Amino acid sequence: MWLFSRKGSSGFSGNSTAEEVTAGINGDGLTAIVTGATSGIGAETARVLALRGVHVIMGVRNMAAAMEIKEAMARDIPSAKIDAMELDLSSMASVRKFASEYKSSGLPLNLLINNAGIMATPFMLSKDKFELQFATNHLGHFLLTNLLLERMKKTAVESNREGRIVNVSSRRHQLSYPEGIRFDNINDPSGYSSLPAYGQSKLANVLHANELARHLKEEGVEITANSVHPGVVDTDIFRHHKLFRGLVNLVGRCIVKSVQQIAQVREIVPMLNSEQKLWGRKILHIFFV
């Protein structure tokens, strides 16, 4: 793990865990939605946020798995405020239902962490007839963000705390198709390649965050939008790609981080600190406009 041992100006390194980096952070009074929170990065993000006092709502497809995660967190963190709501990001109807139920709950929303994703799947269409990776990784989160944005604006004003929207992207966004996003051929199986299609969806995450950040800044809204590259993390997302799974197993000791060391959670630290603004900042693994 020598590759991640060098400490930066913050005093932390790539070996630092989310718990270490968030020590002393007080998230009391904050409410966060974390999508895909039943495993990997999402589960660790939810756990650490709950540990720091944030009320966490897990947006998940598998409610049974979510209940197990919730019970485990409650045992480890007796003070944790954790709830789960059903959310299938590949289904626009499910996204609309989730957003409607969330708004009806009356809960505020300070943090929206668009984490859920799938990688390198065989060609499939979603229920809405969109290529599955693009639907799950981008379209679902795009719609979810739009539907909850007014609630986030209201929360930012009433709480006098800057809201945060985080799209979990990947450096694979640089390895989309040669033309970038195939807007005219998103659902065309001819020429489909699972890894470029994944990169295409991650590129959409970055572009979405960049454009949303620009609009929010122009409006003078106290909400930031960023896309985050979490690093190479050993999670179940590699399940559809045997080559990547093999590489992770082969060289994991040198280049792959555990979920406890994920850059995503470390980069969320300033997002829990209402005194620290993000406009124009250049932070490793965060892609800005």
Catalytic machinery residues: 192
Are 218 and 191 a contacting pair, CB within 8 Å?
no
Residue type, 38: T
- For Cα atoms 38, 54, 17, give the angle at the middle one, nearest 5 degrees: 65
d(CA 177, CA 229): 19
CB distance 126 to 91 below 8 Å: yes
Please count the CA atoms within 13 angstroms of the CA of 178 that sit on its side-chain side.
1
Please, which residues have CB within 8 angstroms of residue 268's CB and are 6 or more apart in sequence? 45, 49, 111, 113, 164, 166
Q: Which residues contact 117 (CB under 8 A, 6 or more apart)?
A: 36, 136, 137, 168, 201, 237
Q: How far apart are CA 7 and CA 176, in angstroms?
A: 32
Q: Which of 227, 246, 230 is nearest to 238 (CA)?
A: 246
Write down how long the chain is: 289
| Bridge partners for 180 per DSSP | 177
The pair of structure tokens assigned to 111 is 């943090």
What is the spatial distance between Cα 256 and Cα 252, in angstroms, rounded to a whole number? 5
Distance linking the first and last C-alpha atoms of the chain: 32
